[in-house]
């Protein structure tokens, strides 16, 4: 992670790239965590 940045653009490009990948992972992770959390809840009939 000790990347050398010469410009602000370099820095933002790097940190934002990592952040966008992370956010994608979080979205999937939170969905899976919700399924785990509510996995044994009583199912409500919606029809």
Partner 1 sequence: MPQETAHKNKSIFTPFNVITGIIILGGLIITVLRFTGGLGAVTNLDDNNPWGVWIGFDLLVGVALAAGGYVTSAACYIFGLKRYHSAVRPAILTAFLGYALVVMALHYDVGRPWRLPYPIFLSPGTTSLLYEVALCVFLYLTVLFIEYSPAALEWLGVKRVRNLVVRLTLVLTIFGVILSTLHQSSLGALFMIAPSKLHPLWYSSYLPVFFFVSSIFAGLSMVILEGALAHRFLHDKMDETHLKESKAVALGFGKAASFVMMGYVAIKLIGIAIDNNWHYLATGWGLWFLLELLGFVALPAFIYAVAAREQNLRLVRWSSIIAVLGVVLNRLNISLIAFNWHLPSADRYFPSWMEVAISVFVVTVGIVAYRFICTRMPILYEHPDYQQH
How many residues bind to partner 1 according to rule CB under 8 A? Answer: 20
Name every residue whose Cβ is closer than 8 Å to that of residue 14 and which is 6 or more positions away in sequence: 3, 5
Q: Which is nearer to partner 1, 39 or 45 (CB)?
A: 39
d(CA 31, CA 6): 38
Nearest-Å Rg of the Cα atoms of the chain is 19
Q: Is 13 in the site for partner 1 (CB under 8 A)?
A: no
Q: Is 18 in the site for partner 1 (CB under 8 A)?
A: yes
Binding track over 21-40 against partner 1, x by CB under 8 A: -xx--x--xx--xx-xxxxx
């Amino acid at each position: 992670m000790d990347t050398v940045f010469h410009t602000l653009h370099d820095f933002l490009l790097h940190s934002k790239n990592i952040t966008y990948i992370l956010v994608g992972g979080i979205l999937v992770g939170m969905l899976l965590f919700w399924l785990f959390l509510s996995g044994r809840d009583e199912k409500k009939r919606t029809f």
